[in-house]
Chains A and B, each alone.
Chain A
Amino acid sequence: MSSLDAIAVNTEVVTGNVEPLLHEVRHALKRLANGEDGTVIDLRSLPLAPGEEEQIEAALGQGEVRAELNALGPSLVQETSYPGVWLVTHRNAEQAVVGRFIEVTDMPELLKSQQADIEYGINRLENELKN
């Protein structure tokens, strides 16, 4: 144990923002179920005390789908235990978090193959077949 660890610090800080955020997710999920648009919540825009982001993560739990993509650094797209609620974490090449979002949608946009990439792929495949 270092000398810093020996200092008794007992933080009891809570912002009170965790529960309202979960209600916001509930409302967004209801809108999605009614055929309305999805919702994206930027976790970096909220004041959260140390440990509260982990509380949100624990409250949402983990669902059936977990996808990793590698584009400009790794990203993790995790469906939570509530179908339609996704936790998306973007990291840069040095593994630092550059964005963290809760997406309430049937399919996060990033998981879909993108039109521009599909067209680029067609060209590439055509060139491969010519050679």
Chain B
Amino acid sequence: MRKDQNLGEYLRAQGVSRRGFLKFCSATASLMALPPSAIAQVADALAKARRPSVIWLSFQECTGCTESLTRSHAPTVESLIFDAISLDYHHTLQAAAGHGAEAARMAAMEENSGEYILVVDGSIPVGNPAYSTIAGISNLDMLKETAANAFALVAVGTCAAFGGIPHANPNPTGAVSVSDIVTDKPIINVSGCPPIPVVITGVLAHFLTFGTIPELDALGRPAAFFGQNIHDRCYRRPFYERGQFAETFDDEGARKGWCLYKLGCKGPTTYNTCATLKWNEGTSFPIQSGHGCIGCSEPDFWDKGGFYNPISAGMWGSRDALLGAAAAGAALGVGSALAARARKKKAQAAEEA
């Protein structure tokens, strides 16, 4: 797509009919969790959209966020969105490396000063900046330099949004989130380990469509995708209401698809859209596959007690706090955990017998 073209002109030049464009807008509105009544508005705005410059920086991360995005299940719609942006720097995907790549980043920053979108995945080590460098530049310096003239930032993945796994106790690198460093720019947190790919493209599509920052929740996440917790949208919720729980992963309740709360499901405290958008071409999501949600889109998810302890047992945070609470006789959560464990043992014993 040429820089002087808008998206409508570009699609027409590619032989896409208005009917095809409306279909694209229907899928895009659904992608952005907008009501179907907004399709006409999306069509009008997208047709006039110009190609924004995007610079993507990867810091302390596992590349899972980029993997998630590039394995996205809707190549037609999403490749159109990617055709509609100018991805000027992404050191995992680009062929250039070293000084050549850095020159491309500097050129994009200069040409699009004040207008480019900066996408970041990975946390930033501040304990010792030398723990993670690119072309000899520390992550901290590169983030500050690139953020200075950005229009807005998108922190992709829980590491960039909240520090994530590098930030987990004992946090050996002093990992922090993007919002711990950049405080004077709009930041959209797209958390998840990894985030659902269509949520990443949904945020880019929103910017492309409206040229604005979407409505955010208290943690800076797009409300359209993170406005409700997984529990409220979970198809197993009726079992929770009726008090029907799986006690082990192979008991009768598990086979009947009952609620996984007692097996540690973090759905009630996790805000994300896994239960409706799902994963792998909309095939399934962890709870549908029989495993509780691990809460990966929430801050400090790695340090909130075991993935297999009920939420009531994990709410105390560190082991010391848990022991302190137990000693004070105030550990309602510990009591629940012990009771759940006892129930689990009883159920296991019954199954073995």
Contact = CB atoms under 8 A, between A and B. Distances in A.
Interface stretch (B29-37, B102-110, B154-162, B319-327): B29-37
A114 to B, nearest CB: 4
B24 A9 contact: no
B276 A98 contact: no
User: Majority SS of interface residues in chain B?
Assistant: helix
Given A13-B236, A45-B276, A99-B30, A117 B17 contact: yes
A30 B150 CA distance: 50
Interface stretch (B56-64, B68-76, B187-195): B68-76
Contacts of A110: 19, 22-23
B286 interface: no
A69 interface: yes
Interface of B: 12, 16-20, 22-24, 26-27, 30, 33, 35-37, 39, 73-77, 80, 233-239, 255-257, 275-277, 281-282, 288
A10 B256 contact: yes
Top 3 closest A-B pairs, CB basis? Answer: A71-B20, A40-B36, A114-B18
A92 interface: yes
A12 B257 contact: yes
Most B Cβ at <10 Å: residue of A50, A52, A90, A99: A99
B286 to A, nearest CB: 14
Nearest to A70: B20
21 contacts: A9-B257, A11-B255, A13-B256, A15-B235, A15-B238, A42-B30, A44-B30, A45-B33, A49-B236, A69-B19, A71-B23, A72-B80, A73-B76, A90-B26, A96-B74, A96-B282, A97-B282, A110-B23, A114-B17, A117-B17, A120-B17
Contact of B37 (A10, A40, A47, A98): A40
B282 to A, nearest CB: 6
Interface string A1-15: 000000011111111
Interface in A17-55: 40-42, 44-50, 52
Interface string A100-131: 01000000011000111100100000000000
Interface of A: 8-16, 40-42, 44-50, 52, 69, 71-73, 75, 90, 92-94, 96-99, 101, 109-110, 114-117, 120
B91 to A, nearest CB: 28
Contact of B235 (A49, A73, A90, A117): A49
Contacts of B33: 45
A103 B321 CA distance: 54
Given A41-B36, A47-B235, A99-B27, A114 B76 contact: no
Given A11-B257, A48-B235, A117-B19, 15 more contacts: A13-B238, A40-B36, A44-B277, A44-B282, A47-B234, A47-B275, A71-B16, A73-B76, A97-B282, A98-B30, A98-B77, A114-B18, A115-B18, A116-B18, A117-B18
A40 B22 CA distance: 14
Contacts of B12: 120
A80 B265 CA distance: 39
Contact of A97 (B19, B35, B257, B281): B281
B22 A109 contact: yes
